[in-house]
A and B are shown apart, each in its own frame.
Chain A
Amino acid sequence: MEINIKNADTNAVVEVSGDVDMSNSPRLREALLKVMRDGHGSMVVVSLEQVEYVDSSGIASLVEGLQEARKRKVSFRLAGLNDGPRHVLELTRLIDVFDVYPSQAEALQA
């Protein structure tokens, strides 16, 4: 899994690529919390367009990011869900808890 963080004045984009599982989900969690701590703008977009697989530990990292964002009144958005991650979010009934956008560009524009 690779994580690329792009900070702008009003938002931060966390681009994730590769599978997210127990071996690397703590890194995703740390990245999301760091973005929030560093306080770049009022929006964090997690781009998952290059992610085909997320397990429950990855979902937990996203939930923790969402919780931290709510505390800080930051808009936390998921973008570009492929079938695998979408299916896991649907099974865990979290798909409606997150703000989900078809693409990174649409998440930033909305």
Chain B
Amino acid sequence: MIDEVEITIASHPRWLRMARSLVEIFCREYQGDAATVRAIVLAVDESLANVMKHAYGGNQSRPIRVICRCDGSEVTIEICDDGREFNPFAQAVPPPDEMRLGGRGIFLISSVMDECEYLREDGWNRIRLIKRLPLSLAVS
């Protein structure tokens, strides 16, 4: 069985909290592990912030779709926008440096998720973040 939930938010930072809440509630349906839920929420928040800053360039009224899906063995989050083409995972990710003020978001996303994919389809950026469930928690 595949469960799926989708919301569309405006590209305004004030909606980040709502998106985090949705993802947290969805993941808690499948995950008892607080650290894993926290990691997924962090990756989604950082991805949304990247869309707002880079794909939409600060335009705060564009749509961002957030789709949460679980097939029992892994949680997949898709984040879709119709802003300018922007592949966050094509950027070089320098190692953390205490003196740098920005640029840690993509490093964090890559660090906490099992798979991160980017697709450009029909004028939409699609980011797919995958976190596999621990075997003891996987559901059929």
Binding site for B on A (CB under 8 A): 19, 21-23, 53, 55-57, 59-60, 63-64, 66-67, 83-84, 87-88, 91-94, 97
Q: What are 12 A-to-B residue pairs whose CB atoms are below 8 Å?
A: A21-B20, A22-B13, A22-B16, A55-B46, A55-B105, A57-B49, A57-B102, A63-B99, A84-B42, A87-B42, A88-B42, A92-B107
Chain B residues with Cβ below 8 Å from A66 are: 98
Partner of A83 from B38, B100, B111 at Cβ < 8 Å:
B38
Q: How far is the CB of B24 from chain A (nearest CB, A)?
A: 10
Q: Which chain B residues border A57 with CB–CB below 8 Å? A: 49, 102, 105
Interface residues of B (CB under 8 A from A): 13-14, 16-17, 20, 34-35, 38-39, 41-42, 45-46, 49, 52-53, 95-96, 98-102, 104-105, 107-108, 111-112
The count of A-to-B residue pairs whose CB atoms sit within 8 angstroms is 69
Given A60-B101, A60-B102, verify A53-B13 contact (CB < 8 Å).
no
Dominant SS among interface residues on chain A? helix
Contacts of B95 in A (CB 8 A): 93
Chain A residue numbers with a CB within 8 Å of B49 are: 21-22, 55-57
Given the interface pairs A56-B108, A87-B35, the reply to whether A67 lies near B99 with Cβ below 8 Å is: yes
